[in-house]
């Protein structure tokens, strides 16, 4: 009887704590801080300061409507979880110079248990920036601001928000741990240069789920130093597909391990799933445990590609092969239509040939006929229905 009483008492105590904890949560309407001429830059900053100082859960609400906002950077550490619920449309300055060289329009950093939610839109108004983009011909070009930057976040979520017409990348994820995008949307036209959807660098356990990305560059791109990443139930296109890299350009890069892409549809894109590294690379890093499964291609120019001679606009030296070591790469159950006859291109490095590459159940067609595979410095394992390799030309 005493034991039963103790359990009941303990349960009641826990329940009462939960009720108290919930009751102490706070909601802050951005309008509390005013909006001069519809501009919420200062209001957003003030709301964050109040939320970050709170000792219980806080939700900052940006209600329906259209607002202007200049560049903002907010950061922790904060004392309790913070959620920003955006139901309106927030517009960046159309003139790129008004962001004064900022890398991101909205930057959030150094917090844990952060949530960005709602059905609102971050509109980067990037059309002017795209016209000014000369990065294809000028290495010292001015980089424009990304829409959203998430730096050093832990246990955080971005849910249902839309990023529209960013001037540069839409989202940059840097040094984050246990970070999930769910129901996220990215929207930009196919000719918007360098507007990668989500770029991830030096992060662990990042998930991109139930997301739609239409843009002018990679839907998802991975920089170096990433581990345990998942892209699942995602629609990609137009754009340049899902890319690991480009890698090996800088001397301080780190390895990539454990990337799963599953249940993805890629439409009208320049590439499907891709791993790319520069030749004549200064560092020896590894890329391993890459799994691309259950993917549908619709009119994709290069559905499956490993390119270790990546050198757009001849911006690199071609004196020696890439030192990036690629291993344990699995392409499984990939079907659909290719916009080129070569549906599979595996162009690996002569100095460190790819190892442990598998092609399983690859059913890609070009104008109704099966596509072919071209390969260099790799001997993939074939299982099920998949094209066998013919020799590819290499620059080395």
pLDDT band at residue 282 under the 50/70/90 scheme: confident
142 token code pair = 């001015």
State the average pLDDT over residues 11-35.
65
Residue pointed to by tokens 């490993």: 306
Cα dihedral value 144, 150, 151, 154, nearest 10: -170
Give dist(CA 143, CA 146) in Å, integer: 9
The token pair at 325 is 């070591």
Pick among 2.160.20.10, 3.40.1110.10, 3.50.50.60, 1.10.1200.30: CATH of 218-396? 2.160.20.10
Q: Pick the range with the lowest mean pLDDT from 126-130, 177-181, 192-196, 319-323.
A: 319-323
Of 326, 331, 293, 332, residue with least CA distance to 309: 326
Instruction: Tell me the per-residue pLDDT of 161-190, one tens digit each, with 9 for 90 and over.
Output: 999 999 999 999 999 999 999 999 999 999
Q: What mean pLDDT comes out for the span 25-36?
A: 89
DSSP character string of 234-248: EEE-SBS-EEEEEES
Residue 113 has pLDDT above 90, yes or no: yes
In 3-state terms the chain splits into helix, strand, coil percentages (rounded to 5) of: 15, 50, 40
Cβ atoms of 114 and 147 within 8 Å: the answer is no
Q: pTM, whole model, 2 decimals?
A: 0.92
CA–CA gap between residue 21 and residue 77 (Å, rounded): 21
pLDDT above 70 (res 2): no
Q: Looking at the annotation, which residues are catalytic?
A: 240
Residue identified by tokens 């137009």 is: 238
């Amino acid at each position: 009887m005493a034991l039963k009483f103790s359990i009941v008492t303990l349960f009641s105590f826990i329940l009462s704590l939960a009720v108290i904890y919930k009751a102490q949560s706070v909601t802050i309407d951005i309008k509390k801080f005013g909006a001069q001429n519809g501009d919420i830059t200062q209001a957003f900053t003030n709301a964050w300061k109040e939320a970050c100082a709170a000792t219980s859960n806080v939700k900052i609400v940006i209600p329906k409507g259209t607002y202007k906002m200049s560049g903002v950077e907010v950061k922790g550490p904060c004392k309790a979880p913070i959620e920003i619920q955006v139901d309106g449309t927030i517009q960046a300055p159309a003139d790129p110079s008004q962001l004064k060289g900022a890398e991101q329009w909205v930057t959030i950093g150094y917090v844990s248990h952060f949530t960005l939610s709602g059905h609102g839109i971050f509109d980067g108004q990037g059309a002017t920036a795209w016209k000014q983009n000369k990065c294809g011909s000028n290495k010292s070009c001015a980089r424009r601001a990304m829409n959203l930057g998430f730096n050093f976040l832990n246990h955080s979520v971005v849910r249902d928000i839309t990023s529209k017409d960013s001037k540069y990348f839409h989202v940059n994820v840097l040094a984050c741990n246990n970070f999930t995008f769910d129901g996220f949307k990215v929207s930009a036209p196919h000719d918007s240069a360098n507007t990668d959807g989500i770029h991830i660098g030096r992060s662990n356990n990042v998930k991109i789920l139930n997301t739609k990305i239409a843009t002018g560059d990679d839907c998802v791109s991975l920089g170096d130093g990433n581990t345990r990443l998942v892209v699942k139930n995602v629609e990609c296109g137009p754009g340049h597909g899902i890319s690991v890299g480009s890698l090996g350009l800088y001397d301080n890069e780190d390895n990539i391990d454990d990337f799963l892409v599953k249940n993805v549809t890629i439409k009208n894109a320049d590439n499907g799933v891709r791993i790319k590294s520069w030749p004549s690379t200064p560092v020896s890093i590894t890329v391993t445990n890459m799994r691309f499964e259950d993917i549908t291609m619709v009119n994709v120019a290069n559905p499956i590609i490993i390119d270790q001679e990546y050198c757009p606009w001849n911006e690199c030296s071609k004196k020696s092969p890439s030192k990036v070591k690629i291993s344990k790469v699995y392409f499984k159950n990939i079907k659909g239509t290719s916009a080129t006859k070569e549906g599979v291109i595996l162009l690996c490095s002569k100095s460190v040939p790819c190892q442990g590459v598998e092609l399983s159940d690859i059913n890609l067609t070009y104008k109704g006929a099966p596509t072919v595979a071209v390969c260099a410095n790799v001997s993939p394992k074939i299982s099920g229905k998949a094209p066998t390799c013919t020799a590819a030309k290499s620059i080395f």
